[in-house]
């Protein structure tokens, strides 16, 4: 199988998930129009890079901007690994942030419950 097709197949789920989340956030009114457009543009950019990765490589090579060899299987694994690590990073960051918020809420409620009127 062509390595560029493999790269697309392995990474397309991340983009689809990104699109779904973008639409879901907008429909549930958790985001404004500008952020929706920016998110949509971001995932479209990733999608375009994936679809045209071979053309991009050819362009860069023809113009002397890179002298690396064409995509190898380890390159595909590496690129997919970067995407996976990025997704995990965002998820973990979000979970830690959510826990931090809940701890702050708990702290505040406890403090208010123990308030003193003089």
Instruction: Please give the residue ranges that form the binding site for another protein (CB under 8 A).
Output: 21, 25, 30-32, 34-35, 38-39, 42, 90, 93-94, 97, 100-101, 104, 107-108, 110-112, 114-118
With tokens 């002397």, the residue in question is: 64
| Residue 5 or 90 with smaller CB distance to another protein | 90
Q: Which of 116, 107, 53, 100 is nearest to 80 (CA)?
A: 53
Q: What is the dihedral of CA 101, 102, 105, 111, to 10 degrees?
A: -120
Shortest distance in whole angstroms from residue 7 CB to another protein:
22
Shortest distance in whole angstroms from residue 42 CB to another protein:
8
With tokens 């679809």, the residue in question is: 51
| Residue 32 or 85 with smaller CB distance to another protein | 32
Shortest distance in whole angstroms from residue 31 CB to another protein:
5
76 contacts 82 by C-beta, under 8 angstroms: no
57 contacts 66 by C-beta, under 8 angstroms: yes
Shortest distance in whole angstroms from residue 87 CB to another protein:
9
């Amino acid at each position: 199988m062509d390595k560029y097709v493999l790269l697309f197949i392995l990474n397309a789920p991340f983009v689809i998930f990104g699109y779904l989340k973008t639409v879901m956030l907008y429909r549930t009114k958790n985001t404004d129009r500008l952020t929706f457009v920016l998110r949509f543009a971001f995932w479209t950019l990733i999608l375009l890079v994936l679809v045209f990765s071979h053309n991009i490589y050819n362009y860069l090579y023809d113009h002397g901007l890179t002298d690396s060899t064409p995509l190898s299987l380890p390159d595909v694994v590496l690129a997919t690994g970067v995407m996976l690590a990025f997704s995990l990073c965002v998820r973990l960051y979000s979970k830690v942030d959510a826990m931090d918020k809940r701890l702050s809420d708990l702290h505040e409620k406890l403090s208010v419950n123990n308030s003193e009127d003089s």
